[in-house]
Chain A
Amino acid sequence: AQKVTQAQTEISVVEKEDVTLDCVYETRDTTYYLFWYKQPPSGELVFLIRRNSFDEQNEISGRYSWNFQKSTSSFNFTITASQVVDSAVYFCALMYNQGGKLIFGQGTELSVKP
C-alpha cells in the first residue's frame, strides 16, 4: 500500500521555539519522491521541498531543515526559531511514479503564538 502518516494533528509552540513535524511513509517502490507542502489560511498549497528516494542527504534552507531516513521510512521537517508566519497546515506527500499523483498525509496544523 502507498500511504503517508502524519501522526501529529495539531502542534502549538511559542515563537522562537524549534518544532519538528513527523512524516512516515509506506511504499513498495524503490524509486519514489517525497514532498512537503505548506497550506496557510488562504488555502493555497505552497511547495517547500522535493526529495527523491536515492538522495538521503539532509537539506537546510534558512530556518527549515529536512531529515530523510529510508531505514525508518521517515521524512521529518524541522522549523528552527519558529515565527508567527509559520502558522499553517503542513502536508507531507508521496509520489511513487514520476508525474503521477501525490498521496498526502492528514496534515499537521502548526500554531505559533507570539
Chain B
Amino acid sequence: EAGVAQSPRYKIIEKRQSVAFWCNPISGHATLYWYQQILGQGPKLLIQFQNNGVVDDSQLPKDRFSAERLKGVDSTLKIQPAKLEDSAVYLCASSSPLGLAGYEQFFGPGTRLTVL
C-alpha cells in the first residue's frame, strides 16, 4: 500500500511570495489533515477535510493560507503572501475509521519551507 505522498519536499522562497504544497493521501482515506511543524515544536493542525468538506480550520490563518480538496482525494495548501514565521515543515496526514488502524493518522514525509 502506497503511503501519503507530498511534493515538493523542499521549497525556499522570499517573503511576500506565494507557495503551494500538494498532498495525495492513502487510497480510500476519507480524512485528510494538514499540520504545521515549526522547528523544535510538535505539529499543529491547520485544517482537516472529510472527503471534500472542511471539518476544522479553526487554526488556519485565513488571511494568507488557503486549502482545497476539490474531488475528495488529493489536496493543495497555499500560502499567499508568505511571512518569515511561515518557515516550517508542512505535514499531510490521512486516516480512515475502518479496519484495525481505525483513526490512526498516517503521515507523509513533509514539505520543508524556508522563507527568506
Q: Interface on chain B toward A: helix, strand, loop, or mixed SS?
A: strand
Contact between A102 and B43, CB atoms less than 8 A apart: yes
Q: How extensive is the interface on chain B, given as a class?
A: 20 to 34
Contact between B109 and A101, CB atoms less than 8 A apart: no
16 new A-B contacts, CB < 8 A, other than A33-B103, A91-B43, A99-B95, are A43-B109, A43-B110, A44-B108, A44-B109, A44-B110, A45-B93, A47-B104, A47-B105, A47-B106, A95-B103, A98-B97, A101-B33, A102-B35, A104-B43, A106-B42, A107-B41
Contact with B along A18-48 (1 / 0, CB 8 A): 0000000000000001010100001111110
Contact between B103 and A45, CB atoms less than 8 A apart: no
Q: How extensive is the interface on chain A, given as a class?
A: 20 to 34
- Interfacial residues, chain A to chain B (CB-CB below 8 A): 4, 33, 35, 37, 42-47, 50, 91, 93, 95, 98-102, 104-107
Measured in the bound complex, the distance between the Cα atoms of B45 and A44 in whole Å is 16
* B33 / chain A contacts, CB cutoff of 8 Å: 101
Measured in the bound complex, the distance between the Cα atoms of B45 and A95 in whole Å is 12
Contact with A along B42-70 (1 / 0, CB 8 A): 11110010100001100000000000000
* B41 / chain A contacts, CB cutoff of 8 Å: 106-107
Contact between B42 and A104, CB atoms less than 8 A apart: yes
* A107 / chain B contacts, CB cutoff of 8 Å: 40-42
With A44-B110, A45-B91 as known contacts, state yes or no: A98 contacts B44, CB within 8 Å. Answer: no
* A35 / chain B contacts, CB cutoff of 8 Å: 104
Of A33, A35, A43, A101, the most chain B CB neighbours within 10 A belong to A101
Measured CB to CB, the closest approach of chain B to A33, in angstroms, equals: 7
Contact between B106 and A102, CB atoms less than 8 A apart: no
* A47 / chain B contacts, CB cutoff of 8 Å: 104-106
* B35 / chain A contacts, CB cutoff of 8 Å: 102
Asked if B107 CB lies within 8 Å of chain A CBs, one says: yes
Measured in the bound complex, the distance between the Cα atoms of B55 and A101 in whole Å is 10
* B95 / chain A contacts, CB cutoff of 8 Å: 99
What residue of chain A has the Cβ atom nearest to residue B102's Cβ? A98
Asked if B89 CB lies within 8 Å of chain A CBs, one says: yes
